[in-house]
A and B are shown apart, each in its own frame.
Chain A
Amino acid sequence: MTVTPTAADLAADVRAGRTDPVALAEAALTRLRGRNPALHAYLDEDGEYALERARHVAGLVREGRDPGRLAGVPVSIKDNIAVTGRTLTAGSRILSGYRAPYTSHAAERLLAEGAVLVGRTNLDEFAMGASTENSAYGATHNPWDLARVPGGSSGGSAAAVGAGIVPIALGSETGGSIRQPAALCGVSGFKPTYGAVSRFGLVAFGSSLDVIGPITAHASDAALVHDILAGHDPRDSTTWPGPRTPSTDAPTTLAGLRVAIPAEFLDDNVDGGVRERIEEALELFARGGAHVTRLPHGLLAHMSHSIPVYYIVASSEACSNLARFDGIRFGPREQGAELLDTYERTRGRLFGPEVRRRIMLGTFALSSGYYDAWYKKALSVRRLIQREFEALFERHDLLLGPTSPFPAFRLGERSSDPYAMYLCDLLTAPACLAGLPSISVPCGLTAAAGAAAPLPVGLQICGRAGEDHRVLAAAVAFEAARGEPERCPGFGGAT
């Protein structure tokens, strides 16, 4: 029995004239203003813009026209996804004051379905991080425990949904940035197959990895939003031109699913409490009629190299993508005597430490004398990782495991050690490297040392490339079998 209404429920009420979308927007803005001072989940609230959109939706309903599948639903968008006239800082000082001159494909699709955009969410600078502490505008706090991180890089989006401010937020993922914060904030986060959703209007980070996906309070809403976002877009040539199966057409049952848990997903790096919740989730799959197989060590032998492969590949692509930020065409400039001096001053002073580190790592890996040893090597091991996943999917429909090896950690706990922060991506980077669809769904709470209260744990469900619908349907079935996810204290409240 659902306690919290789904976004689909809210939209149905608006479409039927039972709920005023302006009242929905005002309530979301009240929650945002009440909670954001403590959470810092938002960089900009979009108040007037939201009310204007809500009035537009209300007008459509009055005229007897259908505003769409997200009619009047308050939605927040990560501040690296463009909406005309709204901020687009990417969490960086180098884009402070910048406003997007056009709208992303993803936001266009949401607006076309009647969504009301109520704010721009915080992120690690250029989506590089796993805690949102790398935002140039200050860290976001986890709504379950304000002394802890919300995960990252889509930490603002996950905290906003986790706190009940909005039922849907958009995130982007390159190595785990949708799923990991969703897990740490007790909500669902879906990373689609690479190429399923257009990145037109997304500030590029790692172009062979970047995807856009939903973070939602209910798994069923993740399926709804993905169905809205997915599809071919000529403005992103990596999107598939062919037909796709809507998630809502897939059977939402655990019965008959062939699921497996690779031993590599439950190794010694995984916290004991997280492991217990995952074991309970496996039991639930089995009770629901799924065929659950435990796979021995070795079938994903190259997964242990995912962190180096990911950081070399993503950083190499990032150093190229971020070359455009030079202080000339947008954002502030640190003027030098010469053009080169201007580039170096602007980039050296306005990029944050983690972005500078990754640009250096990527430029090093691509530089003469190191290219074969690092970049080409990483790409070759990437293929081995993808092959191992493909082999597993010949016999299994879905792979299960934890999303994060540990629950939310304390602010500052990992920020002084870059490699310790990189290890947050241990269980999410593999699906990114292989381009696979994967969702994190809440699967219970666990105690954590020093935490005032138990913290959420996320179950990762990963599928074959192109089978986003199967992953989402399994997540919906799991949530239905388990019941409404636990909600954080003060969920949806204005204070």
Chain B
Amino acid sequence: MNTRSGQSDHGIDTATVRRVAHLARLGLDEAEIQRTAEQLGTILGHFHALQAVDTTGVEPLVHALGDSGVPAADVIVPFPQPRSSLLALTAHGREGFYVVPAVLDTDFGVDDAPAPATSSAHSPDEDPGADE
């Protein structure tokens, strides 16, 4: 295993780890990026024998029921409790919504940007089945 270059014995380099961590939305520090490259390389090294199995013409088995699963009825089932019961599970609920850091710039470049929604415009608890 060559850890100095960040390349493990199965070709997982630190750049790959950074890319995968970003895809997975996992914040890893430099030490863990290095360690993950080594560990994934070692694990995939143990798994390498899989590559030698002849699977020509073998259909992947996505789950054990094969194709016999029964689709659920495509109907909306309202959640039986008020929305406030779910918002009570976070410390970041306010006025019927989840509060998150800003995603968009607040300056829309126009003077008459729409005002944010408030609970006075809509009371979520009156609509327990509504999507957020």
- Residues on A close to B: CB < 8 A? 98-99, 101-102, 194-195, 207-209, 234-235, 237-238, 240-241, 302, 304-305, 307-309, 311-312, 319, 323, 326, 328-333, 335-345, 347-349, 351, 356-357, 359-361, 363-364, 367, 373-374, 376-384, 386, 418-419, 422, 433-436, 465
Contact = CB atoms under 8 A, between A and B. Distances in A.
A307, A335, A383, A386: which has the most chain B beta carbons within 10 Å?
Answer: A383
Contacts of B27: 341, 344-345, 347-349
Contact of A380 (B43, B55, B80, B102): B55
Interface of B: 12, 16-17, 19-21, 23-28, 32, 36, 39-40, 42-44, 46-47, 49-51, 53, 55, 58-65, 69-73, 79-81, 85-86, 89-92, 98, 100-103
A323 B25 contact: yes
B20 A360 contact: yes
Nearest to A207: B63
A328 B92 contact: yes
A235 B102 CA distance: 35
Contacts of B25: 323, 326, 340, 343-344, 347
Contacts of A333: 90-92
B101 A364 contact: no
22 contacts: A101-B89, A209-B64, A305-B49, A307-B47, A328-B90, A330-B89, A333-B90, A344-B26, A347-B25, A356-B36, A357-B40, A359-B26, A360-B21, A361-B43, A363-B23, A364-B40, A380-B53, A380-B58, A381-B55, A382-B61, A383-B60, A383-B61
B26 A356 contact: yes
A434 B103 CA distance: 44
**4 tightest A-B CB contacts, nearest first:** A435-B64, A348-B27, A208-B63, A379-B60
Nearest to A346: B27
A341 B101 contact: yes
A337 B23 CA distance: 19
A391 to B, nearest CB: 15
B58 A384 contact: yes
- Classify the interface of chain B: helix, strand, loop or mixed: loop
Given A237-B72, A238-B69, A336 B64 contact: no
Contacts of B71: 237
Contacts of A101: 81, 85-86, 89
A256 B12 CA distance: 53
Contacts of B73: 234
A207 B91 CA distance: 29
Given A305-B50, A341-B101, A379 B86 contact: no
A338 B25 CA distance: 13
A332 B90 CA distance: 7
B40 A328 contact: no
A390 B59 CA distance: 16
Nearest to B21: A360
A422 B65 CA distance: 25
B53 to A, nearest CB: 5
Nearest to A345: B27
B89 A360 contact: no
B87 to A, nearest CB: 9
B125 to A, nearest CB: 14
Contact of A386 (B51, B61, B89): B61
B90 to A, nearest CB: 6
Given A356-B28, A360-B24, A342 B100 contact: yes
A364 B58 contact: no
Contact of B47 (A235, A312, A343): A312
B119 to A, nearest CB: 18
Given A99-B89, A328-B100, A347-B27, A419 B42 contact: yes
A382 B59 CA distance: 10
Contact of A332 (B46, B62, B86, B91): B91
A311, A333, A360: which has the most chain B beta carbons within 10 Å?
Answer: A360
Contacts of A386: 61, 64
A357 B50 contact: no
A337 B101 contact: yes
A234 B21 CA distance: 36
A329 B55 contact: no
Contacts of A309: 50
Nearest to A386: B61
A83 to B, nearest CB: 14
Given A341-B27, A380-B53, 16 more contacts: A305-B50, A308-B46, A330-B89, A333-B90, A338-B101, A342-B100, A357-B36, A363-B23, A374-B50, A377-B53, A383-B58, A383-B60, A384-B53, A419-B42, A433-B64, A435-B65
B16, B25, B39: which has the most chain A beta carbons within 10 Å?
Answer: B25
B28 A348 contact: yes
A234 B63 contact: no
B53 A302 contact: yes
B40 to A, nearest CB: 6
B28 A434 contact: no
Nearest to B43: A419
Nearest to A375: B60
A101, A209, A331, A345: which has the most chain B beta carbons within 10 Å?
Answer: A101
Contacts of B61: 379-380, 382-383, 386
Contacts of B59: 380, 383
A108 to B, nearest CB: 13
